Amino acid sequence: MDQVGQYNRNAWDHAHHTSLRQWTEPVSTDEVNEARDGIIKIKLTPHKHVPQAWFPELRGKKVLCLAAGGGQQGPLLAAAGAEVTVLDNSPRQLAQDAFVAQRDRLTINTELGDIRDLSRFSDQSFDVVLSLGAGHVEDLNTVWQQIGRITKKNGTLLSGFTNPFEYIFDLKAWNEDKLVVRHTIPYADIHDLTADERQELIVDKGEPFFFSNSLEDQIQGQIAAGFVIVGFYEDHGGGPLDPYINTCFATRAVKVSLP
């Protein structure tokens, strides 16, 4: 594995001690029971739930949750009757899915892996793919191409993103609730911060490394991989831009052509 993958694995294994804790806390048995009754409250962005209308029939369907460990989306989709695989780079995040599965008698296949290499999955093997790890990948287009290969025709792709413009701001100022324009997009913590800034603002805080991607990578990348976008919503990102604009968004896409 490359250095970013190794570093981010360790960061996510310890993310329950950081500002990212929200993404490491498993769902409750009550939420699982609601999903068993067909009310699936999963998030692709920090606050809003995915509209129920975005889910195709899930019973007996093969669902792949990418970079989605943490005991959240996978267990609820399994409770709704899907055959779920969760692939994540963090053993601790996957352990949260295994914990919920055992607690609530669900079957979930957890796989330790990197969304940048989906070669373990065969062509057109999933009815639904949920993708959450875009912000940890520098070359997002290769991930979309692989998702396009493994998604069945007419299959669904549900994805969550941070709008790249969040990354034009100086990170230290951002953390102090100030907006200081500094960076160009595409931005990457590993390329655009000085070594001292990386140490202080990322490593010392135990945060993972992020990549902004571009809107073109996030949207056109899906289209180029054979998907059409059929749904979209925005959500608060949780930073100093919240009073002005939503910085997170989700897309629903359907696979229309084979790559």
Ligand X SMILES: C[S@@+](CC[C@H](N)C(=O)[O-])C[C@H]1O[C@@H](n2cnc3c(N)ncnc32)[C@H](O)[C@@H]1O
Instruction: Enumerate binding residues for ligand X (CB under 6 A).
Output: 5, 8, 12, 23, 43, 67-70, 72-73, 88-90, 93, 114-116, 132-133, 136-137
C-alpha 163: how far from chain center: 13
Nearer to ligand X, 18 or 182 (CB): 18
> Smallest gap, in angstroms, from Cβ of residue 143 to ligand X?
9
> Smallest gap, in angstroms, from Cβ of residue 138 to ligand X?
10
Beta strands at 62-66 and 126-131: parallel, antiparallel or unpaired:
parallel
Q: What is the dihedral of CA 11, 66, 227, 124, to 10 degrees?
A: 140
Who contacts 251 (Cβ-Cβ below 8 Å, separation ≥6)?
Answer: 157, 158, 159, 161, 218, 219, 222, 229, 231, 232
Nearer to ligand X, 58 or 94 (CB): 94
> Smallest gap, in angstroms, from Cβ of residue 133 to ligand X?
4
SS3 88: strand
Nearer to ligand X, 140 or 201 (CB): 140
> Smallest gap, in angstroms, from Cβ of residue 228 to ligand X?
24
Nearer to ligand X, 173 or 239 (CB): 239
Nearer to ligand X, 76 or 225 (CB): 76
Q: How many CB atoms lie within 10 A of CB 21?
A: 11
Tokens matching residue 1: 């594995």
Q: Among residues 78, 80, 82, 87, which one has the least CA distance to residue 52?
A: 80
Who contacts 66 (Cβ-Cβ below 8 Å, separation ≥6)?
Answer: 87, 115, 118, 129, 130, 131, 132, 133, 147
Q: What is the DSSP string of 6-62?
A: HHHHHHHHTGGGSTTGGGGPPPPHHHHHHHHTT-----SSSSPPPPGGG----TT-E
> Smallest gap, in angstroms, from Cβ of residue 153 to ligand X?
25
> Smallest gap, in angstroms, from Cβ of residue 117 to ligand X?
9
Nearer to ligand X, 72 or 163 (CB): 72
> Smallest gap, in angstroms, from Cβ of residue 67 to ligand X?
3
Beta strands in 89-226 (DSSP E): 108-112, 126-131, 151-162
Nearer to ligand X, 116 or 255 (CB): 116
